[in-house]
Structure 1
């Protein structure tokens, strides 16, 4: 039985919406386990880089990003997905949103001591700081999506949008061959492995770091497969946490909300990270260190909630998921997240205390 046949059978027996949520759950559990065990964190990587270091966090981030590109581009070459049909590629993107939102998100994740995905993983291990910050992030994301902040988001996003009614495919724009994305992913992976060896990162952590990238590819392949057999239109998407956090929040507040990929993704990450932490004996209740840390975390969560929605994705959604299919605005948002994070670390954290993971 091939993959499409299996997906079609599941859709017939369970229904298309429950299967979409199930695929989100599988993607989330995979992501949560791998992210918790590898300590994957964009914020930690940017802080290392801002301080002139190329340490283990940088190596893990590069390996995750590169393996996501390799897995996704490999799946495309095998016909298991089609990037051009992905939601973030098939609609206009916002260059202004990527710039402004990316800078805000980058600043926010340094203040909150973790991006939205990292906060969700830490919350599952008993980190109460991440629970509070994550809830604020989800509320502000929902406000930015359809609440009182949505007019401002629309105004900023509309300043500069992509032409042609679609987002920019960087592989097409630069005239690269079909295997160009895979080759670039392999080249970045080679750099990541050199850094990993220099920092003496163990094999298990490397496997889990690549597992985060695999989770991104898994989401793309599963939703693409469902879109090929479903009667109703299905969005082709993968791991991201800005929109899904808002949708999951509303799912538990609105009894008319429907099942979808997002609704399975967020609980799946929480479950996967909790299982990984429990099996490793790393479950531990942690609170805010002091009032200053609490204020910074809350401000950071607000900046990430608005910035992530404006940028079209978070550090995972734009930085890895969007980057893996070479979406133009996603790569720009990722670059601006790095700039915003590095600037905030230099202007805020380095003047107060050394950043901790």
Structure 2
């Protein structure tokens, strides 16, 4: 493959990622896909409709990624979440911080992008603060604290720290076949549960979950198979084109926001390149905006007062720090990492849910006191 062909493939991959994420933004807005909203519905109303929507997305993502690995289209050992270490404390603490932050900010990273597309200027402030705190946790002052504390506590394994690889090594089984079996079992169970009960009357919600899961699978295929060069003409190395990590990546909306801000601020630096994550951030906003305009629901919205600003600003910082520490948000860990059956995704998801529930209950308690 020539340099010109690599350049063309990179451009096509970026365009595909933008289109894919724009569809994600439109679907998320049209079907009210929101992890924080789903948890809030359960805590406040006992309504599991949007949790089952998330379960449908998780089921499709699990089955789809497992099928990609089984057919050899994606290498599970070369994804962003592949590691021989289980950073369980970082995942748990980061998840807790993120869960608290998304409640204070009225939504997680992807929901904030969707809200921005609908004209919500509060979301713009949240994104900027989240991106700055995320970048500081990647390479700045909070990164030093992260590495010296929670990242220092981990479990080392001789294989990739994902459930299929651990079980395959323990029982001398084929990892790809076992992954497919586990993906079908767990993913199928999530889909059956999502389709069971009175919540399934909301067909739009269920279809939205299925589409979101399918888009996560499409992102894995795009970055892990289509936008891959086996031997780069300059380095002769195996290259995943236009990724920040140099590995296969799927959808996530904390670290990519940080890299998007970095790209904007240092645009004239030739070393700053567009990546799949950066264009995905823009794509979600554009997709949500197109849906808002088409449905005539676009409207400008600002902060109600200083208290509202303080809550959203605090939440944004917590999401930035927590999202990087946990290596993902409700989409990055909740769907993309979960689809790989990464062991670290379990404490991360648990932390997000616990942090959100505690924050929601605290807000309800404060409201009752004020009445």
Cα distance change of structure 1 residues 13 and 97 upon mapping to structure 2, 3 Å threshold: closer
Map 1:217-232; keep pairs closer than 5 Å: 217-225=217-225, 226-229=227-230, 231=232, 232=237
Q: Which moved more, 1:9-18 or 1:59-68?
A: 9-18
Cα distance change of structure 1 residues 78 and 281 upon mapping to structure 2, 3 Å threshold: farther
Contact 2:66 2:339 in 1 (8 A): yes
Structure 1 residue 295: deviation in Å?
A: 1.3
Q: Which moved more, 1:303-312 or 1:206-215?
A: 206-215
Structure 1 residue 177: deviation in Å?
A: 5.5
Structure 1 residue 63: deviation in Å?
A: 1.7
Cα distance change of structure 1 residues 308 and 331 upon mapping to structure 2, 3 Å threshold: same
Partners of 2:145 and 2:4 lie apart in 1 by 39
Q: 1:240: which partner in 2? A: 252
Runs of at least 5 residues in structure 2 that lack an aligned partner in the other structure: 169-177, 241-246
Q: 2:195: which partner in 1? A: 193
Give the aligned length: 344
Q: 1:69: which partner in 2? A: 62
Contact 1:140 1:302 in 2 (8 A): yes
Partners of 1:130 and 1:10 lie apart in 2 by 40
SS at match of 2:344: helix
Map 1:17-166; keep pairs closer than 5 Å: 17-51=10-44, 53-90=46-83, 92-164=85-157
Structure 1 residue 74: deviation in Å?
A: 2.7
Can you list the C-alpha shifts for 1:86-131, whole angstroms capped at 9, x where unaligned? 1211464421110110110001111111001110111111011111
Partners of 1:329 and 1:339 lie apart in 2 by 16
Can you list the C-alpha shifts for 1:229-258, whole angstroms capped at 9, x where unaligned? 462521200100111111111111112211
Q: Which has the larger radius of gyration?
A: 2
TM-score by length of 2: 0.86
TM-score by length of 1: 0.89
Q: 1:269: which partner in 2? A: 284
Q: 2:175: which partner in 1? A: none
The answer to whether residue 317 in structure 2 is matched with residue 302 in structure 1 is yes
Structure 1 residue 165: deviation in Å?
A: 6.9
Q: 1:328: which partner in 2? A: 343
Structure 1 residue 75: deviation in Å?
A: 2.6
Partners of 2:23 and 2:3 lie apart in 1 by 20
Structure 1 residue 278: deviation in Å?
A: 1.8
Q: 2:173: which partner in 1? A: none
Q: 2:354: which partner in 1? A: 339
Structure 1 residue 192: deviation in Å?
A: 0.8
Structure 1 residue 276: deviation in Å?
A: 1.9
Cα distance change of structure 1 residues 274 and 52 upon mapping to structure 2, 3 Å threshold: closer
Cα distance change of structure 1 residues 167 and 123 upon mapping to structure 2, 3 Å threshold: farther
Q: 1:211: which partner in 2? A: 211
Cα distance change of structure 1 residues 117 and 154 upon mapping to structure 2, 3 Å threshold: same
Partners of 1:337 and 1:168 lie apart in 2 by 20
Structure 1 residue 73: deviation in Å?
A: 2.1
Cα distance change of structure 1 residues 297 and 223 upon mapping to structure 2, 3 Å threshold: same
Partners of 1:167 and 1:293 lie apart in 2 by 43
Q: Which moved more, 1:243-252 or 1:253-262?
A: 253-262
The answer to whether residue 330 in structure 2 is matched with residue 315 in structure 1 is yes
Partners of 2:88 and 2:28 lie apart in 1 by 29
Q: Which moved more, 1:176-185 or 1:109-118?
A: 176-185
Contact 1:122 1:130 in 2 (8 A): yes
Partners of 1:10 and 1:208 lie apart in 2 by 39
Partners of 1:313 and 1:33 lie apart in 2 by 22
Partners of 2:260 and 2:89 lie apart in 1 by 27
